[in-house]
Amino acid sequence: MSETFTKGMARNIYFGGSVFFFLIFLALTYHTEQTFPARSNVDQLTESVIRGKSVWERNNCVGCHTLLGEGAYFAPELGNVFKRRGGDEGFKPFLHAWMKMQPLGVPGRRAMPQFNLSDQEVDDMAEFLKWSSKIDTNNWPPNKEG
Ligand code: HEC
């Protein structure tokens, strides 16, 4: 084997390496795209969940809250609020009561505004947050309060 490292060898490593890792990148992208529907429970995207997402966006909840880590860090994470506040039995009544009682007006506590959402909008929001809590995120956030 030659002792010298030629330009041709360097070029082959550069192009060969680029093609190799680009192919790995394509394969991983394909794999991710294939697993999304199962991980995000696409089959459970009801009309109500979709309306709830629209209520979420129109009212800019993400301006204060995070949803699965995305958003602002002023107020609690809501990706798992469904599990934290009652789950299947308790969450919907909790959300109705919570939305009605804002702002709490407790001195020294961060306030959430009153949004005057209709009952239908709160129901849809509850469905959206329920659906969000079921996304398979490899158990993130690590604890219920997170
Ligand atoms: C101006 C900032 C702000 C906006 C916008 C906002 N929130 Fe909040 N939210 C808060 C704060 C602050 C708290 C924590 C209040 C407390 O504990 O007293 C909170 C708490 C909550 C909780 C209870 C969380 C828990 O862990 O118990 C829910 C549910 C909630 N918000 C839903 C919403 C929804 C739905 C929207 C959009 C319609 C929204 N919030 C928009 C500031 C905001």
The CATH number of the domain where 70 resides is what? 1.10.760.10
Model pTM score? 0.89
| Segment 27-55 mean pLDDT | 96
Number of domains in the chain: 2
- Residue 145, pLDDT score: 85
Residue 131 is classified by DSSP as H
Residues 84, 35, single domain; the answer is: no
Shared domain for 61 and 96, answered yes or no, is: yes
Q: Is the pLDDT of residue 146 over 80?
A: no
pLDDT value at residue 38: 95
pLDDT per residue as tens digits for the range 45-101 = 999 999 999 999 999 999 999 999 999 999 999 999 999 999 999 999 999 999 999
Shared domain check, 91 and 59: yes
Token code pair at residue 142: 């690590």
- Largest pairwise CA distance in the chain: 79
Give residue ranges with CB within 6 A of ligand 1: 59-61, 63-65, 74-76, 78, 81, 84-85, 95, 98, 104, 109-113, 115, 125
Judge if 95 and 64 occupy the same domain.
yes
Residue 121 and residue 100 in one domain: yes
Residue 5: domain span? 1-39
Residue closest via CA to ligand 1's atom 36 equals: 61
Residue 144: what pLDDT?
86
Residues 5 and 64 in one domain: no
Do 17 and 58 lie in one domain? The reply is no
Q: Whose CA is nearest to atom 2 of ligand 1?
A: 64
Shared domain for 129 and 78, answered yes or no, is yes
Q: Indicate if 4 and 66 belong to the same structural domain.
A: no
Q: What is the pLDDT of residues 94-136, one digit of tens each?
A: 999 999 999 999 999 999 999 999 999 999 999 999 999 999 9
What is the best residue among 56, 60, 64 to mutate for testing ligand 1's pocket, by most ligand atoms within 8 Å of CB?
64
Cα 142 to Cα 79, 80, 81, 131, distances in angstroms: 12, 10, 13, 18
pLDDT > 70? residue 1: no
Residues 123, 62, single domain; the answer is yes
